Amino acid sequence: MIRRILEIPDPGLREPCAPVAEITPEIARLAGDMFDTMHASAGLGLAAPQVGVYARLFVLELPPDDDDPLSGRRFVLINPEVDLTGARKEMVEGCLSLPGFRAMVKRAEGVTVAFTQLDGARVSLEARGLFAQAVQHEVDHLNGVLFIDHLKSLLDLERIPPEMLDWTEEAEAEAA
């Protein structure tokens, strides 16, 4: 089921999220709905607070890329804990809660992320590139932080050219 995505400046996007205490059928249904919602908007990632649920979980699914073994797979990350690795680098970034815009944001090149899966297993992944960037973006959402908070000025936002709004055409203009 597609849920409504909150958009900036909805105050719901600033709510801190509580840890998920138990993986209930409701949580599984929420994760399924979040994939449906994300796919409907051609996004790569979506955090629960973006659909008005203040729980520490997000979903990620990067478009298939032969160079990235984490791409093309569905991930549900519950109660994530992140360590940043590598250098900080400027990366182009967007957000489904601010459709049509993007900006350069400084992110770590890599992350180590521990999280609970829907099956209850606690796992840890090392990621670089787009996956690492998306993890940082989504964890920010769980803390009520938006990518525009990393900008010196909102004037640093730029409109995404309409032909780049579909990630199947151009993975660089991702909305997460």
Least distance from Zn ion to the Cβ atom of residue 176, Å: 5
Q: Does 82 bind Zn ion (CB under 5 A)?
A: no
Answer yes or no: 163 catalytic.
Answer: no
Sign for the CA dihedral angle at 73, 175, 133, 52 comes to: negative
144 CB burial (10 A radius; 0-12, 13-18, 19+) = middle
Which of 93, 138, 163, 172 does the annotation list as catalytic? Answer: 138
Tokens of 9: 């400046």
Q: How far apart are CA 58 and CA 142, in angstroms?
A: 8
Q: Does 95 bind Zn ion (CB under 5 A)?
A: yes
Q: Does 34 bind Zn ion (CB under 5 A)?
A: no
CB 116 within 8 A of CB 125: no
Q: How far apart are CA 34 and CA 60, in angstroms?
A: 10
Least distance from Zn ion to the Cβ atom of residue 148, Å: 10
Q: Which stretch binds Zn ion (CB under 5 A): 58-66, 74-82, 88-96, 151-159?
A: 88-96
Q: Which stretch binds Zn ion (CB under 5 A): 7-15, 64-72, 95-103, 162-170?
A: 95-103
Q: Which is nearer to Zn ion, 23 or 47 (CB)?
A: 47
Interacting residues with Zn ion (CB under 5 A): 95
